[in-house]
Structure 1
């Protein structure tokens, strides 16, 4: 008897979202099957890998990054141009750290000008991340969205606290996409998607950020949440969860002990840079096989490795 492969067909499909403009614009989503299950259906667009940069010198980053970017880290425009020319990233994530009220507390206008200069200097799509203060980010994203209108950027992220300001500015007043950030819970993810669409944001302009953690640090909650979201989107045809997922891996993986403990403190662990890369790659791959359509990384070596894996599995 001839072998007949069992095929799992789903009724649901993830929406396709385009970020950026011109030849280097990227599309994520579009699949109607689980990640890399090409044999079950349409795999959609290849998963994308972005690189994180900051609008200020990265004092908190490990020494290997400071050495790597020593000629450009003091200028976000130079930094953006450098990573575009010297890494294999599909997009750039500009994190506006300087807006933090507990830090430099720069105004939205100042940060918007930096974002504009970066957008004008590179051709890769931009993901704009805030400072983490939801109230400040709401005001920040409004101004940045206006200033870089026309670049079709993704704003990371709208939360339950500021989704009205961010959603209205990014996708309704100006031509951008918005990421809906929830805290590793399918119901919270669904609720925020519903709130955004009720506000008037089109679902095809929404990308989900369902939360992340470094592997070994409660990642099983991230994995189970992604599984539930994707199975509901495909198997139950739940349209409120049929958006692509982006995961800011670097925000988590480079802050855990394995990535920052010095070789003097942990001599048995080996090279600190290699440890950080290993944590980042492990977390990124786990996110991609779990359902993420795009990941944000920090180290160029991590990006190269993850892109090779995606290419081999796609």
Structure 2
């Protein structure tokens, strides 16, 4: 008797979302199975990998990474062009660290102008990240969304404290996409999606940022949360959880002690740059395995490694 492979069919699927415009449009989602389960069904558009750049000189980044980029990190527009030409990620994440009120506190107008310059200089889709100061981000996203009208960017992220303004400006007024950010909890993720839906923002314009943690730092909560979200979306056909998921891995992995401790402080741990890459790769590989559709990374070598992993698991 011939062996017959068992196939797991699900009633639900993940919404297909598009970023960018024209021939460089990027698709997220579209799958009706778990990650890399191509033997069960359609895996959708696959995992997308983005590289992070800043609006200011990356003073706190590891020396080896700053040396890799060289002088371009002194000019955000040139940095974006270099990333696109040299490393060809799926998208670029422009993070406005310089807008932080506790730092340089750059104006909304200055940030919006820079975002437009970057958007006009590259072909890749853009993800715009704020300061994590939700009051500042509210106005920042509004101004950037207005300046980038027609570019179809992703605003990362809308939270419970500012989602009304961010989603309304980003999606309803200026036709972008918005990431709904919650804190590693399926119920909070679902609640925020529903609240954004009530603003007449359709699911296909929403990405979920359900939170992250570096491996070894409570990552099991992240893994179980994403797993439960995917089970509900696919198995229970829960449309309030059927959005693609993006995980800004770089925002956390380079700040933990294994990555941040210098070689002078911890000589027994070896090269700081290699430690940071290892932490970033380990975390990115893990979130992709449990269901994240896109990851934001910092080091090009991390992106290269994750790209190889994804390609070999197709």
Shift of 1:22: 2.1
Are 2:295 and 1:278 equivalent residues in the alignment? no
1:108 aligns with 2:99: no
Aligned residue-pair number: 314
1:232 match = 232
Q: Is the 8 A contact 1:88 1:304 kept in 2?
A: no
Alpha-carbon distance in 1 for matches of 2:226, 2:3: 32
Question: Over residues 20-47 of structure 1, what are the superposed CA-to-partner deviations in whole Å (9 max), with x where a residue is unaligned?
Answer: 1122221010000000001111110021
CA distance, structure 1, for counterparts of residue 189 and residue 26 of structure 2: 24
1:42 & 1:84 partners in 2: Cα distance?
A: 29
* Superposition deviation, residue 142 in structure 1: 0.4
* Alpha-carbon distance, 1:268 to partner: 2.4
* CA distance in 1: counterparts of 2:22 and 2:296, whole angstroms: 21
Give the Å deviation of 1:2.
Answer: 1.8
- Identify the residue that residue 146 of structure 2 maps to in structure 1: 146
1:249-268 mapped onto 2 (5 Å cutoff) = 249-268=249-268
Please name the residue that 2:197 is paired with.
197
Query: In the aligned structure 2, how far is the partner of 1:59 from the partner of 1:266?
Result: 20
Contact 1:179 1:209 in 2 (8 A): yes
- Matched with 1:44 is 44
The answer for the alignment partner of 1:10 in structure 2 is 10
**Aligned position for 1:180:** 180
Query: What whole-Å deviation, never above 9, does each CA across 1:258-287 have from its counterpart, x for those lacking one?
Result: 112122222222211111111111100101
1:244 aligns with 2:247: no
- Alpha-carbon distance between aligned partners in 2 of 1:146 and 1:301, rounded to the nearest angstrom: 34
SS of aligned partner of 1:150: coil
Residue-by-residue CA offset, 1:95-119 (whole Å, 9 max, x unaligned) = 0111111111111111000100000
Looking at structure 2, the residues matched to 93 and 2 of structure 1 have their Cα atoms a distance apart, in angstroms, of: 50
- The answer on 1:81 being equivalent to 2:81 is yes
Larger mean Cα displacement after TM superposition, 141-150 or 21-30? 21-30
Unaligned runs of 5+ in 2: none
Structure 2 residue aligned with 1:22: 22
Gaps of 5+ in 1: none
State the Cα deviation string for residues 50-94 of structure 1 (Å, max 9, x = none). 000000011111111221223111111011011011113110000
Deviation at 1:256, TM superposition (A): 0.9
Cα RMSD for the two superposed structures = 0.8
Which moved further from structure 2: 239-248 or 265-274?
A: 265-274
Q: What's the TM-score, normalizing by structure 1? A: 0.98
